[in-house]
Amino acid sequence: MEGFYRLVSYFQTQSEPAYCGLASLSMVLNALAIDPGRKWKGPWRWFDESMLDCCEPLEKVKVKGISFGKLVCLAHCAGAKVEAFHASQSSIDAFREYVMNCSASDECHVISSYHRAALKQTGTGHFSPIGGYHAGKDMALILDVARFKYPPHWVPLSLLWEGMNYVDESTGQTRGFMLISRPHREPGMLYTLSCKHESWISIAKFLMDDVPLLLKSEDVKDIQMVLSIIVTSLPSKFEEFIKWIAEIRRREDGGPSLSPEEKARLGVKEEVLKQVQETGLFKHVIRFMSTSCSIHSPTSGDGDTLPDIAANVCCQGAEILGGKISSSAEYCCHETCLKCCKAEDEKPVTMVCGTVVNGNSEQGVDVLIPSTRKSCCTCSSLSNSIRMHPASTDVLTVLLLSLPSTTWSDIKDERLLREINSLVSVENLPTLLQEEVLHLRRQLHLLKKCQEDKVDEDLHAPFS
């Protein structure tokens, strides 16, 4: 029952009849103290069902629920370490062993996907965490997130296993169980992939399927040609697909100084940004972007200036802090100001203050900006601040590093192939950036499987 005490502290009731999967996952993520990378309400960083929308639109989940495979995808994207098994891929003895091991620890939790009919309950498919194991009676404790129907209850493990062997008609696969634990470090501290915008499907397809074909068909001779082929062919608004995770707070929530937690997270983000800008690939990207005047380049124009980015991020921040899942286009940031605040060590930290308007209401939002330059800035120096924050060049560099290693394998020029493999090799990256890139690569792999509706066919952890 070791896992029970942590889980029961975060026990929640699903907010919609079809949200059992989302409620189970948010409960387990909170029990493991995994950082959601953003605030829930007020100053609190907390997983809520409304945040778990990267693999399936919430509107669709609300109507049809979520498949086992897509819940596994959500757990990966949320930053958890996940092992998942369809019942047809495992055995009752292996399942019992996993339940016993997780119940004896608070570092791993089991979510079961089962059919209620096997338990003589009303309803059909359901998700709930397992809160404990009784070895003498071979029973599992179900912490049922549909608390309006059933309280926590013990069930014979054999009956639960029978319920997991029901076939989910929507996927043709048996139900199953997943083991969720905390990674040794939060992934995605600075960058993340997003499928909240319609463009993500075309961008994911382009990156995973089209780029290798383009490089194979073209007679590329140098790195600049490789970048030209990729960048000029990128779907528009690719930066809606990969974006940096801003540290956002309501103005009334934050004082003039940073909290120790804000300071630590910002420090990691600044180090990741610095490591991106020290890669050999970044130097090639900078050279290409500075010499290319192509009107086809999706990164051309003034969108990289800090005031533009600040206004956009403030609107996104207001959307998140307001608990909205609609488009941030409903928000308008009519005022931004760049200033400095002090960390506890008196080091100046760049912060954008924005006033965001939504209808008749407005709110002040502060956005902490990861910086690679330590000088203090003021509002008058906005035009000189472009290289202080993640911009198109940084985002494009990280996106290229995150592509599967097989992307480049069909380049015909052997000298160029060796050079680009050296530039994009994950093994050559510093540890922080390496973990960031591997997380993005796993996300890209998962999103492609979701796009192709193959996530329920293959539950193995995404490749590294």
Q: What pLDDT does residue 146 have? A: 96
Catalytic residue among 77, 86, 115, 144: 144
Q: What pLDDT does residue 314 have? A: 61
Q: Which two tokens stand for residue 255?
A: 């004082």
Q: What pLDDT does residue 119 have? A: 96
Written as one letter, the residue type at 200 is W
Tokens 């809520």 found at:
48
What residues does CATH 3.90.70.30 cover in the chain?
Answer: 2-181
Q: Which secondary structure element, helix H or strand E, spans residue 355, and what is its range?
A: strand 348-358
Instruction: Clarify whether 53 is annotated catalytic.
Output: no
Instruction: Clarify whether 20 is annotated catalytic.
Output: yes
Instruction: Clarify whether 284 is annotated catalytic.
Output: no
**Chunked in runs of 10, what are the mean pLDDT values of the chain (464 residues)?**
93 95 96 83 83 82 92 86 93 97 94 97 96 97 96 97 95 94 73 74 85 86 91 80 76 68 84 93 91 48 52 60 49 58 62 68 74 49 48 88 91 92 93 90 81 74 52
- Cβ atoms of residues 79 and 183 within 8 Å: yes
CA 101 to chain CA mean position, Å: 28
CA distance 397 to 255: 34
In the three-class reduction of DSSP (H, G, I as helix; E, B as strand; rest coil), residue 242 is classed as strand
Q: What pLDDT does residue 144 have? A: 97
Backbone angles phi, psi at 235, to 5 degrees: -60, 155
CA distance 295 to 11: 53
Superfamily for the 2-181 domain? Phytochelatin synthase, N-terminal domain (3.90.70.30)
Angle at which helix 392-401 crosses helix 280-291, to 10 degrees, equals 130
CA distance 79 to 186: 6
CA distance 25 to 23: 5
Q: What pLDDT does residue 15 have? A: 94
Catalytic residue among 76, 126, 284, 439: 126
